[in-house]
Each structure stands twice: as structure tokens, then as C-alpha cells.
Amino acid sequence: MAAAPGYDADAMVSVREIMEFGTWDPELSVDWVSEKLKNVALRRIKRDVYNTEFPSGCYVEPDSTNFTLVHVLITGPEGTPYEGGFFYFLVRFPPNYPAQPPRVKIMTGNNTVRFNPNLYKDGKVCLSLLGTWDGPSWTPAHCLFTILESIQGVMNKEPYHNEPDLSIFGTVEGHSERYSDFVCYETLRTAVCGMIETPHPNLPASLQSKIKELFMQKFDFYKSKIAEKKHLDKQTMMVDTYGREGETFNFKRVKKRLLAIHEQISNASTEDTLAASMRKQCCIKGSPA
């Protein structure tokens, strides 16, 4: 099976290393490329991708060039620091699916933000279902739906408590709230503004359009969240569950970006409406009396 353009090539990772040690990364799955997709896998992928409904807030788009690749947009669950965010995941099915689980990578952030103890900066998604963490493992009874449910499950109200090392070192008072503030900030800055201003080059156009549509629906929420959190400006962020500190909050800057995006989408929508109206008028004028 031929590799899709833009995938399965990385000068820093040798084919020998991947074949010997394996990989969690769907973009570096050269060990799967040479294997023929089994008929059982073909039927099951069709069922899991095309003939099923997905959890609320999940949008799935098959890749246009590679049957084993799927693009997924998960919107941050309501009532969590992720609310309103657009989280893009790349999913790749193995040639012997469902005997093995897919490989999944979070693309939002482009290796700059660790959104969750289970969602690494390099894109790794740590879930026992995927074989990337301890716990109940994958069985053929699982499917793409259960994976997406599990991802939504780790995007909860207090992601600080997802950190497994807390069972060893214990929790620190105030850290959960500080970490949630960081996640909320990066959701608005990176998973909203960043996803619209500089969309990932592999994100399908249909999902880009869905993001803009949902952005307009959530715009009032964004404004209210900025108003709620603006008192944090110039305070230092706690960027991980271990208490490490990073840059300072700048919700004022994020608000400017949100307003600019809203104006851009509104103007584009107005132009599309005018163009459609003009085409309709031309059709009416050109129709026979």
C-alpha cells in the first residue's frame, strides 16, 4: 500500500528503528505500509468509519488519499477547561484491524502544548486502549467510537488529576485550579485562535469549515470566558502537573485575536451571501419570460 503524501517519512527516525521498536505515531507507520490491508480490516474500517454515529462533539473525515487514515475533530466538552476548543487528531488503522488498535496523534498545537497528562506535546495520546499506557487493553470489540469516547473522557473538568504520579507524590493545594487555568488559556490561544489563523496543512477543508461554523456559535462563550479570566493577565502560568512555571497569561491579546477572527469570518460570510444573491438575480434575469 502506497504511503499518503506527507506521511511515513522522518529523517530523524530510521525504518530499522521503527520496525524493531515500533511506534505510536500514525505519521511514522512505515512498518504498516508494506503490509497488505486484510479483507477483514477493510470491512471493519468501512463499518467503523462510514456506517456508524460518533460521540457528540466528534467529527470524522476519511483521508482523501489513504483508506487507513482518518481525520478527527473533537470539540472540547462543555464545563471543562477544553470547552470551545478544536482538537484535531490523526488516526491510522493497522493492516490487521481490529486485531490491533489504531495509532492516534493529536495535531493541535504542532508540538508546542501539552494539553493534558494524557495528551503529550509531541502528539502522543496515552490511553490503555491504544497500548500507550497501562490499564485495560484493546480487544476487537473496541472501535473508533470507543477511542473517541476515551479521549473525551480525559478532557475533563480537572485534568490535573489525570496525572498518575500524583499517587506517588501527592496533590498540592491550588495546583488543580492553576493547571486548569493554563489549559483554558491554551485552549483559547492555540486550540481556537491557532487552529483558525494557521490551520494544520493536513486538516481537511470540510473540518476547517466546521471549525469556523462552531467558532461563530461559541463566540459569546469565548467573550464570557475572557472576561472571567482576564484578572490572571501578567500572572505566571503553571504549565504542567508538576508545578513548573512558564510564561505569563495574556488574555487581552487572545481577545484581540478572537475579535479579529470573528470579523474575518463575518466578512467572508457576507461576501458569500452577496455573491449568491447576485448569481440568483442573474439567473432570474436570464430566464425566459
Name the residues annotated as catalytic.
Answer: 126
- Count of beta carbons in the 10 Å neighbourhood of residue 210: 16
At residue 165, what is the residue type? D
CA–CA separation, 135 vs 131, rounded Å?
A: 9
Q: Where are the beta strands (DSSP E) in the chain?
A: 58-62, 69-75, 86-92, 103-106, 236-238, 245-248
CA–CA separation, 161 vs 241, rounded Å?
A: 8
> What are the DSSP calls for 222-249, one per residue?
HHHHHHHHGGGTTSEEE-STT--EEEE-
CA–CA separation, 185 vs 194, rounded Å?
A: 12
Contact 145, 54 (CB under 8 A): yes
Question: How many Cα atoms are found within 13 Å in the side-chain-facing hemisphere of 9?
Answer: 6
